[in-house]
């Protein structure tokens, strides 16, 4: 039986919208701590959303740990970057999956995290490959509300230390970049013109599918996290322009290297 029509004010009532039933209890029936102690992983971790880059980095090596889900396995590797230990993984796409994998890995001790990925452009004027250090993310997904209450704000911020590390690494390498807000959404096929206009009006440069959830998990679990995105497809004009963004191989490898360098600064 439905709840019936509700006025705008009613949607802030947990009795109307279950997503607002935040519980601060850090434990749960299925707890990420069950992963603890199952593998020795470095505490510095790069989350890389570029599958081909991860495969090139790890080669034929078997994963040091496997995060298993019904759809398959997400490998996690302990590597060396410039002589220092680093954990690397692809956490899967969309907020629920990426956040769950991050939660498990934080429980295993990976508490200094930099994520790198691509994003659609909400703001105009950025070429494919331009780097954006994400300062905060609009919470237009469901996962973050299980880690931070709605009252915590419409946006969730990345860690200032992680932002500073990314900016320092980009500057050291002479890579131009922007600092700014991203819009995290679950609905890749619901990025309408009206929504894009609203997000642009509130300062979003990009649109992605994981950032706000990752930031919320890190905040809830006491981890440090930052994210760098590169400008990909364009939603800033009347029609969507793919721009061949996912074929920018050199850009993706470079962004991974930047993420590694920034992570090891933490």
CATH number at residue 71: 3.40.50.1580
The C-alpha atoms of residue 40 and residue 150 are separated, in whole angstroms, by: 35
Grade residue 121 by pLDDT with cuts at 50, 70 and 90.
very high
Is the per-residue pLDDT at 146 higher than 90? Answer: yes
For residue 230, being part of any structural domain is answered with yes
**Is 182's pLDDT higher than 80?**
yes
Alpha carbon distance, N-terminus to C-terminus of the chain: 51
Angle at 152 between CA 141 and CA 108, to 5 degrees: 70
Long-range own/partner contacts, residues 29-35 (CB < 8 A, 24 or more apart): 32/100, 32/103, 32/104, 32/106, 32/107, 33/107, 35/67, 35/104, 35/105, 35/107, 35/108
Place of tokens 């998990």: 217
Q: Give yes or no for residue 2 having a pLDDT over 50.
A: no
Residue 3 confidence (pLDDT): 43
Residue of 8 and 246 predicted with greater confidence: 246
Residue 240, classed as helix, strand or coil, is: coil
**What distance in Å separates the CA atoms of residue 207 and residue 265, rounded to the nearest whole number?**
27
Domain presence at residue 16 = no
Instruction: Please tell me the predicted confidence (pLDDT) of residue 12.
Output: 64
Residue 175 lies inside a defined structural domain of this protein: yes
**pLDDT of residue 5 exceeding 60:** no
pLDDT band at 4 (very low <50, low <70, confident <90, very high): very low
Structural domains in the chain (count): 1
- Helices 249-263 & 51-58 angle (0-180, nearest 10): 70
Range of weakest confidence among 10-24, 39-53, 67-81, 194-208 = 10-24
Nearest to 115 by CA among 128, 99, 130: 99
d(CA 186, CA 202): 19
Instruction: Report the mean per-residue pLDDT for the chain.
Output: 93
Q: Does residue 32 fall inside a structural domain? A: no
pLDDT for 9 beyond 80: no
Structural domain including 238 reads 40-263
The Cα 102–Cα 222 span in angstroms is 12
Q: Is 44 contained in some domain?
A: yes
> How much is the pLDDT for 247?
82
Contact 209, 94 (CB under 8 A): yes
Token pair, residue 230, equals: 């590169």
pLDDT confidence of 34, banded at 50, 70, 90? confident
Least confident segment among 29-43, 157-171, 250-264: 29-43
Is 22 part of any domain?
no
pLDDT at 241: 86
Please report whether residue 25 resides in a domain.
no
- Mean pLDDT along residues 159-183: 98
User: How far out from the chain centre does Cα 114 lie?
Assistant: 9
Confidence class for position 205, pLDDT limits 50, 70, 90? very high
At residue 8, the pLDDT reads 53
pLDDT of residue 82: 93
Q: What's the token pair of residue 115? A: 């994520």
Nearest partner of 230 among 110, 105, 127, 142, judged by Cα = 127
Neighbours of 111 (CB within 10 A): 18
Instruction: Write down the pTM of the prediction.
Output: 0.93
Amino acid 1: pLDDT: 32
DSSP state of 209: S
> Residue 71 domain-assigned?
yes
Q: Is the pLDDT of residue 37 over 80?
A: yes
Residue-level pLDDT at 207: 98
What's the rounded Cα separation, in Å, for the pair 132 and 93?
19
């Amino acid at each position: 039986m439905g709840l019936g029509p509700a006025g705008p004010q009613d949607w802030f009532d947990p009795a109307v919208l279950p997503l607002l039933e935040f519980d601060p209890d850090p434990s749960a029936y299925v707890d990420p701590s069950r992963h603890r102690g199952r593998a020795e992983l470095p505490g510095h971790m790069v989350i890389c959303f570029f599958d081909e880059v991860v495969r090139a980095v790890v080669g034929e090596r078997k994963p040091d740990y496997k995060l298993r889900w019904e759809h398959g396995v997400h490998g996690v590797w302990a590597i060396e970057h410039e002589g220092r230990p680093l954990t690397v993984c692809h956490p899967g796409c969309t907020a629920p999956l990426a956040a769950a994998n991050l939660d498990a890995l934080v429980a295993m001790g990976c508490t200094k995290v930099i994520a790198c990925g691509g994003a659609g452009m909400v703001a105009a004027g950025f070429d494919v490959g331009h780097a954006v250090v994400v300062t905060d993310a609009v919470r237009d997904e469901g996962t973050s509300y299980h880690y931070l209450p709605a009252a915590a704000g419409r946006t969730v911020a990345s860690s200032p230390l992680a932002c500073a590390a990314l900016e320092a690494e980009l500057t050291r390498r002479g890579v131009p970049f922007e600092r700014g807000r991203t819009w995290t959404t679950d609905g890749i096929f619901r990025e309408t013109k009206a929504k894009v206009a609203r997000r642009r009006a509130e300062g979003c440069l990009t649109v992605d599918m994981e950032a706000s959830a990752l930031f919320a998990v890190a905040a809830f679990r006491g981890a440090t996290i930052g994210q760098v995105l590169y400008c990909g497809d364009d939603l800033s004009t009347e029609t969507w322009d793919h721009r061949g963004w996912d074929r920018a191989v050199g850009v993706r490898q470079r962004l991974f290297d930047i993420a590694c360098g920034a992570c090891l600064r933490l």
